[in-house]
């Protein structure tokens, strides 16, 4: 035997020892779930992420494996759809599935993992519970409002699952997010239609953007919280009273109160029109010439002799209207000198002035034939007492919706919204005639609403009347109206105390249209 030096022997021994510590390459033969799928919410990614590893014959992870691994349903008790990335390339022998979702709630799902050339694996069971996948803003978003008042449309969200099916019983919390203001009825639950709606949202006291959040209690998902964005405006609809002739000073406080009330309801300016062509006497004998322009309405007001005591107390209507939408730029209101003292003494003047201004703004005078130049087509089946008497009604959608909101669902008298047709005693011809029919709410249905043709005690300017103006094209604030609810059924006459029979109060003087150029064009009434 050849003799080896001791140093060489030591080196060979060291080499043999190092070679004995090298790990063998593990060959993947099968798959195994490293992180089992956990219970999850429908449409929400399963968390923690599902992981599948490649293993060798001993069950150890084959870290050299970098092939594709695919997961699919093993058991599918809910006939669900598996979404997300379902095929993943392994890294160091492990495939991680971080985006997979199941869209249908059920218990006992399993996943099956597969990869070419390897034995597959099946996960343990897991459950999917119902969950929202969408919170849609269905009311109250992107609307204007008057500073310091509640918005017209109460914000509402509709929560559905991935199939579009409403989810019932979810807790939803509303909260003011910016702009100041306040909210009521903020803790809500989704109803049978998946809808949750706030009680009210009052905008802040300064003009600008206001936001409101609606947070669905439960797992995070896109669209939660939902954010409503509305804009607050200051009152910007000018109403200018232009007195002429003697005696209007006796009604000045009533005009001031009526202007303030209407500017809380109609609050956004209209298109600007020039008044330079409105000459002296254009609307009524003695009316002064106008100049400048308006984005609101100028109202000529006077106390004149009309027909003596007890007849027509007042009459009002538009004189100059915009060509763009038919809304008044100039109006006229005349009080009978023989009756105004009585209106003051019995406390009715404020209500009468408020009522007559509504006619100038278009209530009963711009909502359809036979009320003059027609831009809206809201009046249906007009009546003609004492001859043709029909079930006259207002058909445009905003007023119809608000009629229902204050109790109109119980109305049993026929078409809605019921307009005066002079067909029910004692509201018949001749007391109820040309200036009352087709231009007021039906007294026997509406009772003490301000805009019936026979002014009752304690009249209320209801949201239904404000909604008429919205149907005609004004931007209105429903919260500026009076509290008014009613049982709308065709009641027996005399259910409300009539203080003032307004009579023929729709003014039918000259009528013009004014365009952007300021030129007046006479039109028939």
Label residue 6 exposed, middle or buried (CB < 10 Å: 0-12, 13-18, 19+).
Answer: exposed
Residue 456, phi then psi, degrees to nearest 5: -90, 175
Contact 339, 240 (CB under 8 A): no
Copy the structure tokens of residue 38. Answer: 């956990």
Tell me, what's the pLDDT at 493? 40
Per mean pLDDT, which of 306-315, 355-364, 365-374, 493-502 is the most reliable? 355-364
Residues whose CB falls within 8 Å of the CB of residue 42, separated by 6 or more in sequence, listed in order: 80, 101, 102, 103, 104, 105, 128, 129, 130, 131, 133, 161, 162
Grade residue 375 by pLDDT with cuts at 50, 70 and 90. Answer: confident
Torsion over CA: 263, 266, 271, 274 (sign): negative
Is the pLDDT at 21 greater than 60? The verdict is no
Tell me, what's the pLDDT at 517? 81
Tell me, what's the pLDDT at 19? 45
Tell me, what's the pLDDT at 8? 37
Residue bearing the bigger pLDDT, 307 or 20: 307
Residue bearing the bigger pLDDT, 3 or 449: 449
Tell me, what's the pLDDT at 164? 82
Mean pLDDT for all residues in the chain: 87
Rounded CA-CA distance 336/316 in Å is 12
Is the pLDDT at 468 greater than 80? The verdict is yes
Is the pLDDT at 6 greater than 70? The verdict is no
Tell me how many degrees the CA angle 332-334-337 measures, rounded to the nearest 5. 165
Grade residue 126 by pLDDT with cuts at 50, 70 and 90. Answer: very high
Q: Enumerate the β-bridge partners of residue 321.
A: 328, 513
Grade residue 251 by pLDDT with cuts at 50, 70 and 90. Answer: confident
Grade residue 15 by pLDDT with cuts at 50, 70 and 90. Answer: very low
Contact 55, 31 (CB under 8 A): yes
Q: Tell me the CATH architecture of domain 30-129.
A: Sandwich (2.60)
Q: At what angle do helices 252-265 and 349-361 cross, to 10 degrees?
A: 50
Contact 404, 398 (CB under 8 A): no
Residue 451 CA: distances (Å) to CA of 194, 394, 463: 38, 13, 11
Tell me, what's the pLDDT at 61? 96
CATH T-level assignment (fold) for domain 134-233: Immunoglobulin-like (2.60.40)
Per mean pLDDT, which of 77-91, 298-312, 366-380 is the most reliable? 77-91
Mean pLDDT value of segment 181-206: 96
Grade residue 404 by pLDDT with cuts at 50, 70 and 90. Answer: very high
Mean pLDDT value of segment 358-372: 84
Residue bearing the bigger pLDDT, 130 or 474: 474
First to last CA, the chain: 136
Grade residue 86 by pLDDT with cuts at 50, 70 and 90. Answer: very high
**Fold match between domain 30-129 and domain 134-233:** yes
Domain ranges of the chain: 30-129, 134-233, 239-522
**DSSP structural state of residue 410:** G
Grade residue 50 by pLDDT with cuts at 50, 70 and 90. Answer: very high
Copy the structure tokens of residue 48. Answer: 């923690």
**% residues pLDDT > 70 (the chain):** 89
Is the pLDDT at 339 greater than 90? The verdict is no
CA Rg, the chain, in Å?
Answer: 38
């Amino acid at each position: 035997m050849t003799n080896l030096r001791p140093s060489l022997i030591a080196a060979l021994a060291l080499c043999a020892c190092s070679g004995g510590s090298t790990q063998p390459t593990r060959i993947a033969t099968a798959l195994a779930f490293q992180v089992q799928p956990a219970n999850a919410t429908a449409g929400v990614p399963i968390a923690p992420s599902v992981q599948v590893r490649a293993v060798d014959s001993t069950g150890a992870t084959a870290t050299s494996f970098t092939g594709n691994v695919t997961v699919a349903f093993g058991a599918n008790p809910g006939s669900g759809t598996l979404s997300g990335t379902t095929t993943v390339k392994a890294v160091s022998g492990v495939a991680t599935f971080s985006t997979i979702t199941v869209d249908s709630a059920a218990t006992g799902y399993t996943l099956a993992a597969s990869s070419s050339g390897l034995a597959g694996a099946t996960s343990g069971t897991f459950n999917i519970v119902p969950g929202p996948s969408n919170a849609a803003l269905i009311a109250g978003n992107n609307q204007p409002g008057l500073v310091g008042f509640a918005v017209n449309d109460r914000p509402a969200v509709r929560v559905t699952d991935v199939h579009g099916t409403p989810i019932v019983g979810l807790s939803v919390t509303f909260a003011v997010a910016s702009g100041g203001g306040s909210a009521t009825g903020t803790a809500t639950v989704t109803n049978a239609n998946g809808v949750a709606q706030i009680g009210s949202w009052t905008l802040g006291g300064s003009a600008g953007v206001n936001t409101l959040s609606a947070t669905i209690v439960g797992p995070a998902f896109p669209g939660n919280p939902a954010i409503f964005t509305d804009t607050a405006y200051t009152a910007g609809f000018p109403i200018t009273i232009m007195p002429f002739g003697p005696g209007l000073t006796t009604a000045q406080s009533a005009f001031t109160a009526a202007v303030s009330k209407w500017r809380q309801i109609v609050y956004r300016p209209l298109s600007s029109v020039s008044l330079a062509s409105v000459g002296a006497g254009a609307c009524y004998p003695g009316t002064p010439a106008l100049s400048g322009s308006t984005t609101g309405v100028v109202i000529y007001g006077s106390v004149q002799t009309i027909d003596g005591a007890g007849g027509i107390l007042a009459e009002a209507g538009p004189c100059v209207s915009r060509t763009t939408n038919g809304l008044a730029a100039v109006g006229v209101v005349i009080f009978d000198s023989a009756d105004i003292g009585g209106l003051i003494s019995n406390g009715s003047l404020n209500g009468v002035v408020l009522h007559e201004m509504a006619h100038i703004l278009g209530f009963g005078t711009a909502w359809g034939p036979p009320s003059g130049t027609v831009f809206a087509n809201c009046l249906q089946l007009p009546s003609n007492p004492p001859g043709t008497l029909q079930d006259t009604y207002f058909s445009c959608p905003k007023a119809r919706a608000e009629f229902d909101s204050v109790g109109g669902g119980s109305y049993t008298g026929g078409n809605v919204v019921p307009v005066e047709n002079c067909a029910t005693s004692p509201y018949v011809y001749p007391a109820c005639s040309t200036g009352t029919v087709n231009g007021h709410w039906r007294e026997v249905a509406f009772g003490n609403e301000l805009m019936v043709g026979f002014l009752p005690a304690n009249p209320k300017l209801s949201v239904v009347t404000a909604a008429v103006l919205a149907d005609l094209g004004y931007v209105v604030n429903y919260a500026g109206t009076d509290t008014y609810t009613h049982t709308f059924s065709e009641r027996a006459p005399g259910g409300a105390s009539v203080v003032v029979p307004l009579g023929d109060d729709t003014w039918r003087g000259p009528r013009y249209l004014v365009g952007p150029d300021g030129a007046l064009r006479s039109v028939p009434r």
